Amino acid sequence: MRAHSPRSSSNAIWAAVTLVIVGGWVFWGANYRETALDFTMFYVAAHAPIGSIHDQAVFQETARRVLAGTGVKYASPYVRPAVFALALRWMRGLSYWEAYRIWACLQFVFYGATLWALSRRFRVRVLGFYPWALFFPAFFGIITGQDSLAVGLVLCLALVMLADGRDEAGGALLSLTLCKFNLFLLMPVYLALKKRYRALAVYGVCGAVLAGVSALLEPPSLYLALLPDIQRYTIGFFPKNMLGLRGLCTTLGWTAAYPVAALALSTYLLVMSRRMEFVRGFGMVVTACVLCAYHIGWYDAAVLALPFGLALALGDPGLRLMTVCVMVIPFWNVMRTSETLLLLGFAMLYSGAPGRAAPTSANGSEASTRPAKSCKN
């Protein structure tokens, strides 16, 4: 019999630890009293009339009807553009808890697919590396019923397309992040800075189509009237409770300083990203989006799996240590100030870490702005 290598034994141990941690998340979700609390937004949106999905009188009446007997009393408003609600209609024939279980499984699959893509395309260590299983925004977001892991997968796949020079596909995929347009406003700026004009054009065209379909499905005035009043209908979603610079400035009593701080930091990080090769710069901009966003929840930090993976692939010891520390610290939903400070530290280290010029793909080719080419000996 062939002896097992030390590396194989180590991977087996880490895989076992990972399975135990994931099992702990499942146990927590099965017993947590607020499991699926945020999922109401999607389930009610699936049943509400598409032409009045942002009318809170209609939405809350639908919530009372479809949530009756579930034990769930709270229904967060649906804050995505109307067109994205079409992807939720499959829930109409399912009970609340049946739909949530499928939704949670899908989010877990999306997270796994993101990690697989990072490992396959950018040689990020995933298997047997437990910080991925301890990443609070990812797994607690699944428990509460959020969709951030789906957005993270879209970002990752868009980057893969763009890194391979498939700008049309990358721009089209990136336009799907407009479901959270408040969070990714810097992405088209980055495409312009990197002169990826074809990707930017497709992004703009697809974005216009999504906006146009939303306007056809529902009067835009209903959505525009809802946006300023979101805090009235949500539990504990206030600037002081937000992740990022806005939450930090509000907590410190420097509310007026937020616009200046966000502009200064986003400008700095965009300048640094412009100097990097495309893949690494993309991770820098995703980090900037999370830090500088005006309206953001702790669960949105799940998209940071992308820059965290790219940072780990650079191989810089200091950056690697910072990345792991940010990933494994628990309870992002109550430790927003400390997590914001750690993210600021991560962004500074990421922007200055030497590492390789570019993370490499599974076949050894550089993940650059041009199509990948196979290496010949």
Instruction: Please determine, for residue 373, whether its predicted confidence score (pLDDT) is greater than 80.
Output: no
pLDDT (0 to 100) of residue 237: 72
Euclidean distance between CA atoms 281 and 268, whole angstroms: 12
Return the DSSP state at 368.
Answer: -
| Beta bridge partners of residue 126, listed in sequence order | none
Average pLDDT of the residues in 56-62: 92
Euclidean distance between CA atoms 137 and 298, whole angstroms: 7
pLDDT in tens, 269-285: 999 999 999 999 999 99
pLDDT (0 to 100) of residue 7: 60
C-beta neighbour count of 325 within 10 angstroms: 13
| Beta bridge partners of residue 366, listed in sequence order | 360
C-beta neighbour count of 127 within 10 angstroms: 12
Out of 19-23, 165-169, 188-192, least confident range = 19-23
| Six token digits for residue 76 | 């967060």
pTM of the full structure = 0.89
Query: Using CB atoms within 10 A of its CB, is residue 70 exposed (0-12), middle (13-18) or buried (19+)?
Result: middle
pLDDT (0 to 100) of residue 305: 95
Instruction: Please determine, for residue 197, whether its predicted confidence score (pLDDT) is greater than 60.
Output: yes
pLDDT range class, residue 368, cuts 50, 70, 90:
very low
Out of 16-25, 225-234, 319-328, least confident range = 225-234
pLDDT in tens, 81-121: 999 999 999 999 899 999 999 999 999 999 999 999 999 99
Euclidean distance between CA atoms 108 and 26, whole angstroms: 11
| Six token digits for residue 148 | 């951030």
The C-alpha angle 148, 268, 255, rounded to 5 degrees, equals: 70
- Domain ranges for the chain, please list them: 13-352
Identify the CA nearest to 306 among candidates 275, 333, 330, 281. 281
Q: How far apart are the first and last CA of the chain?
A: 34
Instruction: Please determine, for residue 240, whether its predicted confidence score (pLDDT) is greater than 90.
Output: no
pLDDT (0 to 100) of residue 128: 63
Out of 6-10, 267-271, 363-367, least confident range = 363-367
pLDDT (0 to 100) of residue 176: 96
pLDDT range class, residue 242, cuts 50, 70, 90:
confident
Residues ≥6 apart with Cβ < 8 Å to 10: 128
Euclidean distance between CA atoms 66 and 73, whole angstroms: 11
Phi and psi, residue 71, nearest 5°: 85, 0
